A and B are shown apart, each in its own frame.
Chain A
Amino acid sequence: HADVIRKFWQHYLPRLKYHNPAIPMTVDRTQTQSGPATLTIFFTQPTNPSDPTTPLPAPTSSTSGDTAPSASYVPTERTVSINMKHRTDAEILTQFMEATKATVVEATPEELEEMRELEEQGARSQRDSARSMEVNKQRKREADMLAQARGDIAAQAA
């Protein structure tokens, strides 16, 4: 479904992109929802088996159109496709991680602290907003009663 795929795009793909900035990730959208929905992973062959960590030459180094495609680019041969229809985004992610043999990046203690603090802040702000809503409701109720009372008096005096 389009919703699940959109959630994958918005939740998981940014994290993948942040931790793998060199890997190109593109999204093609179609007008109708009825067609197939596939996630395709293109693999390149490591030319230098003794040094697999150097990034291979990409098709272009600058996508602003200034440079021509680099000559040492080798098109990919191996692809893996994952069907995304009728799967939850967590399932898509696990399949993706299996296919690419991805390593999970654990949150550092500082980041865990930050996340915990943000959650606490959110809970606190919810409590505060409930409390202030109560106060405002009370104030509004009394203002309405006063206005109604003044209206009654004016009707009686007339």
Chain B
Amino acid sequence: MASAKTCISYLRNSPISLSFRPQSRLPLPIFLPNQQYRCAGGQTSANAAKYKRKDQGTQQKKKKARTTFIQYDLRDAEQFSLCDAMRYIRAFEVGRAPTSSKYELHLKLRTLKNGAVVRNRLRLPHPVKTDLRICVICPSDSKSAAAARAAGATIVGEDTVFDAVKDGRIEFDRCICHIDSLQKLQKAGLGRVLGPRGLMPSAKLGTVVKDVGATVKDMVGGSEYRERLGVVRMAIGQLGFTPEEMQRNIRAFVDGVKKDIAQLSDRIAKGIHEVVLSSTNGPGFSLNGEFRGPESVSTKELSTL
């Protein structure tokens, strides 16, 4: 019976045949609420009794929260040497100004979620952000004024500064004062102008100092970092830096973080898990710790714009 066979095979292969999908949702005669389906007297049907869960599965649903952050195996990750990563990042940042795009380093730590965090200031060998304008209040012709100018202060002086501030021309971001000029400063009454901006020098904040040159140098180069959600992130260079400059900066940063971790109490088990180099407009590249690989481009070629 060829025709019957073809009929059956047609039925089996037709697209409208029923497929047995597992029914995980309620079988719905939807216009009646659930209660009317329980049998009277609390007796369950035989079918329901067969499939009723005997264990206490529904009471143990609370999931345990993780105490540490997830760590991925670094052997699966694709890692790069510094020169290779810089070559890729420079390609991603092509056409941007060499001072506008910054490299950033992310240190992923092995740590508890609710433990102590690493937080500190650091001076990089090659500072990233160097355009902090500092105003120094001290007699214009003294030794401290010369030291301040050498260290890179923008505005140095006494009466000239007072007049400028009173006029409203505040062209600086930080202000420090020499101890000897403090009296004059307080008499000049600049608190009205500088106070609300947080620029008024005061002994409490450490902005009234004896050694002006060293303080200015301190302020200009320092960059701060802190650990957020198990990662320490900091800007570590500008796009125009050479691989050697980047290497020095990266070494200084990683050494600084390692020292901070060691200074935490001995009970805390923190460690550096992964180091990732990225930039403002580029992706992240996990670093394997080497400066250059066997096929890396020479550092001279990575130094030009």
Contact = CB atoms under 8 A, between A and B. Distances in A.
B304 interface: yes
A16 B90 CA distance: 11
Contacts of A150: 33
B98 interface: yes
Contact of A64 (B30, B95, B98): B98
Contacts of B245: 62, 64, 66
A21 B301 contact: yes
Interface residues of A, number: 32
A62 B301 contact: no
Nearest to A29: B95
Contact of A26 (B87, B95, B241, B303): B95
Contacts of B170: none
B126 interface: yes
A18 B296 CA distance: 12
Contact of A13 (B95, B300, B301): B95
B281 to A, nearest CB: 10
A15 B91 contact: yes
Contacts, number: 80
A59 B98 CA distance: 14
A9 B87 contact: no
A31 interface: no
Contacts of A23: 304
Contacts of A139: 25
Interface residues of B, number: 28
Contacts of A21: 87, 90-91, 297, 301-302
A45 interface: no
A69 to B, nearest CB: 12
B33 A17 contact: no
B94 interface: yes
Interface string A45-60: 0000000000100111
User: From DSSP, what is the main secondary structure of chain B's interface residues?
Assistant: loop
A22 B301 contact: yes
A58 B95 CA distance: 17
Contacts of B92: 14
B238 A9 contact: no
A17 B90 contact: yes
A62 B25 contact: no
Interface string B32-69: 01000000000000000000000000000000000000
Interface stretch (A79-87, A98-106, A141-149): A141-149
A18 B91 contact: yes
B2 interface: no
A24 B241 contact: no
A63 B305 contact: yes
Contacts of B302: 21
A142 B30 CA distance: 9
A62 B94 contact: no
B95 A152 contact: no
Contact of A145 (B28, B90, B91, B242): B28
A64 B91 contact: no
Closest 7 CB pairs between A and B? A63-B240, A27-B95, A18-B91, A22-B301, A17-B94, A63-B98, A24-B305
21 contacts: A9-B94, A9-B95, A13-B94, A13-B95, A14-B94, A15-B91, A16-B94, A21-B297, A24-B304, A25-B305, A26-B95, A27-B94, A58-B304, A59-B304, A61-B303, A62-B245, A63-B305, A142-B25, A146-B28, A149-B30, A152-B31
